[in-house]
Structure 1
Amino acid sequence: MGTEAEPQSKVNNNPIYPKKPIEENTWGDFIWNSRTGQVFGRTGTSWAKIFIFYVVFYAGLAAFAGLCYYLFSLTLRLDQPKWILGDSIIGTNPGVGFRPMPDQEENSGSSLIWYRRENEADAAVWYNQLANYTDAIENPEEVDSLQTCSYDNGLRATEIKSCFVDTKQFGTCNKNNAFGYRSGEPCFLIKLNRIFGWEPEPFGLNKRGQYDPDLLLEDLDRQKNLPDSLRKYITDGVKSNIDPSKFLDTIWISCTGENVNDKETLGPVNYWPRPGIPGYFFPYYKQLGYQSPFIFVQFLKPLTSVLINIECRAWAKNIIYDKIDRLGSVHFELMID
């Protein structure tokens, strides 16, 4: 006997329900879904929780950064570096600088001073640098911390006061003379780099700052390659000065050709006002309006159309010299066509 077929709706005991059509979401629904009340895929409650979380998170992050900055600032002083002299990266050996110098952005690492004597624009590139530098010295800030120091009045730099640089003492190295560049006898400004708290140890002075003739000879003999002209200037100056200790309180400067040929082609050298920087300009303590001391070196008869290598060196008992690392000296080249 055959069996009757089950009704279609009873197959597998699962009633069949009509399927609802699937609604596709659009970009407009993502921005604002009116059915679910979501904005950019989140409800208002979800957005509020996220907002509160990030407010608390970034507030905590800012507070932590501020605490770190505050604790770090407690270890610093505004009036001086945290690490000075032997404890600092700079150390206790001042570098030597010169002006004018090539534009380091256009000629990185270059130290060649070249110009055509008959070309005014060429010469102006160099002497204008010196004019701008000395103009800033001649028109300093109006501050009470600057004073006129000299060996005679006994005034020198202190932690609060520093010394004027008198630009009237530089002879023919002045802007009215174009610093000698038009005449082919160029001047170069030689200075020391600033080191906070550094003081020179002059030749011939004992620990109490008193002149000792035997110590002077020993100090001069220890200096390798000390130019004979500078040695004679120092020994003659001691004899002619009433107070040799003041005269010797100096960082001596010498500029010569690096090689034998350079010395012959460089010619005579003049130092304005003398071949040294007085010790009363030191130490540097970041005094308000501080002026870095310098001298001018003038090369009187340099040979033209020849590249001349020049080395300028600073001399004191606590200035270390190393030609390879350029410690205690500076190198540049001069060529005049």
Structure 2
Amino acid sequence: MSATKNVANNGPSGYEWEYARKDLGNTKWQNFKLFLYNPETGEVLNRTPKSWGGIFLFYCIFYSILACFFAICMSVLLQTLTDEYPKLQLDESIIGVNPGLGYRPMSPDPEADSLIWYKRHNNESAALWIDQIEDFLEVYKDPTLLPDNAQQMDCDFDNPPHMERVCKVEVERHVGPCTSAFGYGYVAGTPCVFVKLNKIFGWKPDYYQNLDELPDDMPVVLKSYITHATTLNASRWHTVWMSCSGADPHDAEAIGDVDYFPQPGYPGYFYPYTNSPGYLSPLVAVRFRNATRSTLVNVECRAWAKNIRYKKSGLNREGSVHFELLID
């Protein structure tokens, strides 16, 4: 009797295990409909409404607690961040303390990589590069495009930027023929490339202070310029110098004469970069006056300061930038 009683208490089929339940002879479609809804037991998907209600309540409570925990963690994280400066700076950041160089224009074709290639005296061929430079310099020419009503001022070594103001970068004056009026030299076959020092928050240059500190591998032409410039104004020692040359001996022959406007370097009053509204990186317009025609010239531009490491490597280049120039 006890065994019969135990069996009788095991569900409507009277079987303790579901797989032992007797086949009722239903078709697959009938079994599927019973799975969706069983009118005898009121089950939906093999669960009673009470069971579904318990599951729904559990997950509501579970995800509510999880959402609250996430909100608390996010709130704590946001308290440590600010739009004014990065949490990790200099040595603690991924960027590090060694700024590199960037340049414009850059090829829009990924396959062309760093190649600047066009036909001299061909307006259509030159227009691609001229338009890129125009787009890049747009914010330099029109400060109203900058956010937060940027307050720019004319700076000099004797007139550094005042509190809450930034130095203006002139791109129409003091840049010789590297202006929009001259098509940045592209049609004439003397193209200009604008080179900038990449921004690193809080980075301060360690300047060369005298001629004896200038490195042996610094170009002779740049050393001569520094000698003359610092003799006239000793404050100009506070400059991050820059030079462009052929990457290899045959490139050095093909590159021809190189001019720098307004000077071969970046004035120290632009540093450190502190994310001030309206700050723009200073530029050097590099003009290639007579590069050999129909010859691929590998150009390397390098920044010079005591705390800028130089590493000539295709993948892990430091303190410099590389591009190719081809004028047909």
TM-score, with length taken from structure 2: 0.84
| 2:229 matches 1:237 | yes
Equivalent residue runs for 1:210-221 within 5 Å: 216-220=210-214
Query: Which of 321, 324, 327 is equivalent to 1:330?
Result: 321
Give 2:63's aligned residue: 58
Equivalent residue runs for 1:40-59 within 5 Å: 40-59=45-64
CA gap of 1:21–1:143, structure 2 versus 1, over 3 A, is closer
Match of 1:167, SS state, is coil
Paired amino acid for 1:203: Y
Task: Provide the rounded CA distance (Å) in 2 between the counterparts of 1:22 and 1:234.
Answer: 100
Give 2:73's aligned residue: 68
Q: Tell me how many residue pairs correspond in the alignment.
A: 299
Deviations 1:129-188 (A, max 9, x none): 111111121122264543213226512376x43222111222211122211111110000
Task: Provide the rounded CA distance (Å) in 1 between the counterparts of 2:160 and 2:89.
Answer: 25
Query: Which of 125, 128, 134 is equivalent to 1:125?
Result: 128
Give 1:250's aligned residue: 239
Give 1:211's aligned residue: none
Task: Provide the rounded CA distance (Å) in 2 between the counterparts of 1:240 and 1:45.
Answer: 91
Q: CA deviation at 1:225?
A: 1.5
Task: Provide the rounded CA distance (Å) in 2 between the counterparts of 1:46 and 1:138.
Answer: 69
Q: Is the 8 A contact 2:101 2:198 kept in 1?
A: yes
Give 2:207's aligned residue: 202
Task: Please list every run of 5 or more consecutive structure 1 residues that lacks an aligned counterpart in the other structure.
Answer: 1-19, 205-215
Q: Is the 8 A contact 2:121 2:189 kept in 1?
A: no
With 326-335 and 37-46 compared, the bigger mean Cα shift is at: 37-46
Q: Is the 8 A contact 1:127 1:181 kept in 2?
A: yes
Task: Provide the rounded CA distance (Å) in 2 between the counterparts of 1:73 and 1:97.
Answer: 32
Q: CA deviation at 1:199?
A: 1.5
Paired amino acid for 1:164: K
Task: Provide the rounded CA distance (Å) in 1 between the counterparts of 2:305 and 2:23.
Answer: 96
Paired amino acid for 2:285: F
Q: Over aligned residue pairs, what C-alpha RMSD do you find?
A: 2.2
Q: CA deviation at 1:65?
A: 1.8
Aligned-residue identity in percent: 41
Q: CA deviation at 1:269?
A: 1.0
Task: Provide the rounded CA distance (Å) in 1 between the counterparts of 2:179 and 2:224.
Answer: 27
Task: Provide the rounded CA distance (Å) in 1 between the counterparts of 2:23 and 2:237.
Answer: 104
Q: CA deviation at 1:291?
A: 0.9
Q: CA deviation at 1:307?
A: 0.9
Query: Which of 74, 93, 108 is equivalent to 1:103?
Result: 108
Q: CA deviation at 1:304?
A: 0.4
Q: CA deviation at 1:112?
A: 1.4
With 72-81 and 326-335 compared, the bigger mean Cα shift is at: 72-81
Task: Provide the rounded CA distance (Å) in 1 between the counterparts of 2:211 and 2:162.
Answer: 28
Q: Is the 8 A contact 1:254 1:314 kept in 2?
A: yes
Task: Please list every run of 5 or more consecutive structure 2 residues that lacks an aligned counterpart in the other structure.
Answer: 1-21
Task: Provide the rounded CA distance (Å) in 1 between the counterparts of 2:281 and 2:218.
Answer: 25
Give 1:161's aligned residue: 165
Match of 2:172, SS state, is helix
Give 1:225's aligned residue: 217
Q: CA deviation at 1:23?
A: 6.7
Give 1:136's aligned residue: 139
| 2:250 matches 1:261 | yes
Task: Provide the rounded CA distance (Å) in 1 between the counterparts of 2:162 and 2:99.
Answer: 18
| 2:277 matches 1:272 | no
Task: Provide the rounded CA distance (Å) in 1 between the counterparts of 2:205 and 2:37.
Answer: 77
Q: Is the 8 A contact 1:146 1:290 kept in 2?
A: no
Q: CA deviation at 1:120?
A: 2.9
Task: Provide the rounded CA distance (Å) in 1 between the counterparts of 2:73 and 2:62.
Answer: 17
CA gap of 1:308–1:21, structure 2 versus 1, over 3 A, is closer
Q: CA deviation at 1:55?
A: 0.5
Q: Is the 8 A contact 2:152 2:278 kept in 1?
A: no
Task: Provide the rounded CA distance (Å) in 2 between the counterparts of 1:313 and 1:157.
Answer: 30
Give 1:4's aligned residue: none
Task: Provide the rounded CA distance (Å) in 2 between the counterparts of 1:163 and 1:57.
Answer: 55
Deviations 1:9-57 (A, max 9, x none): xxxxxxxxxxx99473443333332222222322211111111011111
